[in-house]
Structure 1
Amino acid sequence: MSEAFALVRMLAENLHLNEIPGFVNLTSSSNIDHRRFVEPVQALNAMMRRSWWQRIWTVQEAALPRDGILMCGSLEMPWATMTKAAANWRHHANSCCSLSKEKLYAVLDYATHGEPTYITLSTFQRNLLALETVRPGGQESGEQKFMRTFRLFSNRHSTDPRDKVYGLLGILGENHQPISADYKIKMSDLNDMLSRKLLLSGQFAVLYGEARHLDHGTGPSWAKNFGQTLNRVDQRIEDLRNNNRQDYKAASSKPAAVQVCGRMGLAFATVWVDEVSTTSRVFRAWESKEDMQAFFHECAGLINFASRKEKSYSLGGTVKEAFLRTAFGDRCRSSETQSAVRRPREAEKVKLKEWVWDLADVSPETKLYLGNNIKYNICNRVFFTTKEGLMGFGPSNMRSGDEVWVLFGAKVPVILRPLETMINREENCSGTSQSGYMARRHREVIGDCYVHGIMEGEMLGQRKEMTVVLR
């Protein structure tokens, strides 16, 4: 464990990656002894796998003291040093040392405890900076605070699943607690009650991802399963995907309008976009870079890319441009912007085309760079097209016949599925304000999605305003 502490101290000194002892030898083609750098990384992996980092109640232990000290056996280190090391790694890895990081990741691209070894460094960064966000002086304000805090720690475990929510209330402050702890109610009732309250206040992050009731006979499709625990890989994917979500503006310029309609229904002001026509297979997080290359070939086949690449995309530009930008989710990671993302550059799109379509021999570092910027947009998702020729990536369980909608106040579109049940008189929300006409059939929530050409609010003003009831 002393090697892990030594590595953290070096990172806290703000060293460039190639100034860390052992790093230059590690990435050299002539090096046959990786131990000088690999062993500290493995020691850091062992430290970050300790149960303290996995439990929900330890968030308060780290968040509430103003000056903390991390102790591991006889070793100790100021919390500020740990945080500085994590911040320095994030800065160097995403700016001046990004090429060095890709070389390092290529060398550490072997499994440790079933995960790529290089994920140790991003896990260290994520865990420390997530805790720093909720420490005194680092806490954000605003009505979105609960969902942002919950997402930061949704990979934490608790014996009682209700503590995944209740264990965070103490660090939020009274003004930001959406509910009070009540151990008399069941987890399913907590899911429904909390989801309803958040959605009525316009917090549509409840609908993101697929952590909702899969059996809608036990609860409404819009209710999030707050008791679900993500593994480290899926948590990392969600973190990076959330950076994209926060940067999109599909309908955030329109005020959210949500009303209760009956026992299980919520009515949303919205616009209908299109019906889903085709879907690909699901791309899974464990698949390799070679699998990703083959997957994009399959996706290209769904849009007849070879013959249509220079044709016009229905919302502007060419099919080729739309397809390449869709692969990235039209965003790349960046340390240069406040949102931590930016639009993909022309050179990046060209490299993707060369690798995926032209089958060019690109370097391992380029493959890893492209993969790391694309993977979180496509993992556990399917590629899909719509009847009007739109394309995007959406939830793993979406299918032909589902629909793309944009809810007013939301940053991203959602996939909804029409149900056989019709809106009844009690659910017609009579006497309340509605947007346009009401869709006659109920819908269920499948999840959020990326659709190229509608992520910046393009659909607002182009389509009729409607009200849809979700169950």
Structure 2
Amino acid sequence: MKMLSNGRCPKLCLRSATDSPTWVGALKVIDHLMGLPWWTRLWVLQEAILQRGKVTAIYGEIVAPMSLIEASGAILPRHHENGLCCKSFWHSLPSDQQITLERFSKTTSSIEAVREILSIIKQNQIERLLFLLEKTRDRRATDPRDKIYGLLGLIEDSPDPVVDIAPDYERDVTHLYAGVAMRFIRHQQSLHVLLNHEIKPEAAGSHTLPSWVPHWGATYGSPTPNLIKYRLSQYNAWPSGAGRMPELSADSRALSVTGKYVDRITDVTRAVDKAATADLGKTLSELDVCFGVDEGHLVQYQPDGSGSGSGEGGMLPYDAVWRTLLGDQVSEHIARKAEQEFWYASDGKVFFKTARGYIGSGPPGTRAGDAVYLIFGSLVPVVLRPAASSHRLVGYAYVQGIMDGEATPEPGWQEAVESGSADDRNEAEDGRPRRIYLV
């Protein structure tokens, strides 16, 4: 580790054959060290980051500065991924040794990544807290409230202390998580935080939370949350402007938002799973069945002459289907990159068709009878499930043909919402914006 932390190439650290007892033994120690639950706990971030340079790791007879362990793990990708010096050496290693070293690098660099971002995001506690919550979704805490309380020490040095949260274990999880989500909504003047409603099945215990509140306590999350949010931020399904922002009910459960009904979902595929079905051709065949077409009929035809690629029935155009499959990320070199783009945009999602012919992709919990909505403050459409006089958030969606404001309400919609009767706030199919309640 000391040689690696000083910038030495991994191949120079190997002074014997890759099957020598010394080398194999060293990797076994590293593998066991990286498998310790300490690395998965949330509280270790404060221990490692706030006391940088003062933390000593003790593992049996091995005593080493934590900074040395982090530096040696972080240096590995610079050699075998970005440099020419060790690529051939890396590929000559047995696969189990590659896995061990990759795990070593990923585990140690995750702490350094948090430290580096915190050094960049200095001004605002809200932004720092949101970043940390997203970055630590896969870390564990015995008490789910500690998924928030355990991060407060990392934002104390911000010159703009606006979070105003103090550890209070008399406060239940629902009120804490909902209150934090509302802080993000009010600070950002948007529903951007809803993007953290992950495209995953509901986590154990999440049923006690309102559907719109991110379950920060869950030990799952996208491995690339920032990339997903970056891609979704490229859309503008409901352009920003004057309008009534969400309001929270007194019991912290119902979120009142302005929504516009788009259409009802009629057909849904099973969730795409790359790990279980790596055969892209088989997956596309299943999608053909859902969409009710085959490749020979994926033509650019619209009975209303719009050629927009979605809505109002008719055949599904080839371009619309492929843009949906790729999340609108159609590459110029489509033949070479189509499969890679497909899995990047679609893994873990379902595809659906609506009554009027829209096609889209969304969270795995989506089912026939759910509805596509535009929500004021959200850049992307959402899938909602009617529940008596309210709705439950299933998750965000990509819907071909409405991602760039095509279905935005007409000017003057604000007055119509404000003057709507109580009955108007239930789900309706006339496309007028209404106040709806997410529970």
Q: Relative to 1, partners in 2 of residues 1:246 and 1:217: Cα closer, same or farther, differing over 3 Å?
A: closer
| Secondary structure class of the residue paired with 2:276 | coil
Q: What code does the residue aligned with 1:147 have?
A: L
Q: What code does the residue aligned with 2:336 have?
A: K
Q: Distance in 1 between matches of 2:360 and 2:169?
A: 41
Cα RMSD after superposing both structures: 4.5
The CA deviation at 1:252 is 6.0
Which residue is 2:149 aligned to? 166
The reply to whether residue 244 of structure 1 matches residue 242 of structure 2 is no
Q: Relative to 1, partners in 2 of residues 1:96 and 1:418: Cα closer, same or farther, differing over 3 Å?
A: farther
TM-score (norm 2): 0.71
Q: How many residues align?
A: 392
| Secondary structure class of the residue paired with 2:351 | strand
Higher strand proportion: 1
Gaps of 5+ in 2: 13-17, 311-315, 411-430
Q: What code does the residue aligned with 1:172 have?
A: I
- Report which stretch shifted further, 394-403 or 261-270: 261-270
Which residue is 1:436 aligned to? none
Of 325, 336, 339, the residue aligned with 1:351 is 336
Q: Distance in 1 between matches of 2:31 and 2:224?
A: 19
Deviations 1:419-456 (A, max 9, x none): 2x23xxxxxxxxxxxxxxxxxxx111111222234334
Q: Does the aligned pair in 2 maintain the 1:237–1:376 contact within 8 Å?
A: no
| Secondary structure class of the residue paired with 2:257 | strand
Q: Does the aligned pair in 2 maintain the 1:133–1:140 contact within 8 Å?
A: no
Q: What code does the residue aligned with 2:382 have?
A: V
| Secondary structure class of the residue paired with 1:283 | coil
% same residue: 22
Structural mapping, 1:296-375, within 5 Å: 296-303=284-291, 304-312=293-301, 315-316=308-309, 319-331=317-329, 344-347=330-333, 349-351=334-336, 370=340, 373-375=341-343
Which residue is 1:295 aligned to? 283
The CA deviation at 1:164 is 0.9
Q: Does the aligned pair in 2 maintain the 1:241–1:376 contact within 8 Å?
A: no
Which residue is 1:49 aligned to? 35
Q: Distance in 2 between matches of 1:352 and 1:34?
A: 41
Which residue is 1:365 aligned to? none
The CA deviation at 1:82 is 4.1
- Report which stretch shifted further, 124-133 or 71-80: 71-80
| Secondary structure class of the residue paired with 1:242 | helix
Q: What code does the residue aligned with 2:327 have?
A: G
Which residue is 1:229 aligned to? 219
- Report which stretch shifted further, 209-218 or 244-253: 209-218
Q: Distance in 2 between matches of 1:72 and 1:301?
A: 58
Q: Relative to 1, partners in 2 of residues 1:170 and 1:298: Cα closer, same or farther, differing over 3 Å?
A: same
Q: Relative to 1, partners in 2 of residues 1:58 and 1:415: Cα closer, same or farther, differing over 3 Å?
A: same
Q: Relative to 1, partners in 2 of residues 1:345 and 1:219: Cα closer, same or farther, differing over 3 Å?
A: closer
Which residue is 2:426 aligned to? none
Q: Distance in 2 between matches of 1:455 and 1:130?
A: 32
Of 226, 246, 251, the residue aligned with 1:258 is 246
Of 355, 376, 380, the residue aligned with 1:408 is 376
Q: Relative to 1, partners in 2 of residues 1:215 and 1:66: Cα closer, same or farther, differing over 3 Å?
A: closer
Q: Does the aligned pair in 1 maintain the 2:239–2:408 contact within 8 Å?
A: no
| Secondary structure class of the residue paired with 1:224 | coil
The reply to whether residue 382 of structure 1 matches residue 350 of structure 2 is yes
Q: What code does the residue aligned with 1:160 have?
A: D
Q: What code does the residue aligned with 1:283 have?
A: V
Q: Does the aligned pair in 1 maintain the 2:57–2:65 contact within 8 Å?
A: yes
Which residue is 1:452 aligned to? 400
The CA deviation at 1:294 is 2.0
Q: What code does the residue aligned with 2:211 have?
A: S
Which residue is 1:364 aligned to? none
Q: Does the aligned pair in 1 maintain the 2:232–2:379 contact within 8 Å?
A: yes
Q: What code does the residue aligned with 1:54 have?
A: T
Q: Relative to 1, partners in 2 of residues 1:319 and 1:214: Cα closer, same or farther, differing over 3 Å?
A: farther
Which residue is 1:429 aligned to? none
Question: Which structure's relative contact order is higher, taking Cα pairs within 8 Å and 6+ residues apart?
Answer: 1
Q: What code does the residue aligned with 2:46 have?
A: Q
Which residue is 1:282 aligned to? 271
Q: If you compute each CA radius of gyration, which structure gives the higher value, 1 or 2?
A: 2
The CA deviation at 1:238 is 4.1
Q: Distance in 1 between matches of 2:30 and 2:351?
A: 36
Gaps of 5+ in 1: 23-31, 332-343, 356-369, 423-441
| Secondary structure class of the residue paired with 2:288 | helix
TM-score (norm 1): 0.67
Which residue is 1:132 aligned to? 116
Q: Does the aligned pair in 2 maintain the 1:280–1:382 contact within 8 Å?
A: yes
The CA deviation at 1:81 is 9.0
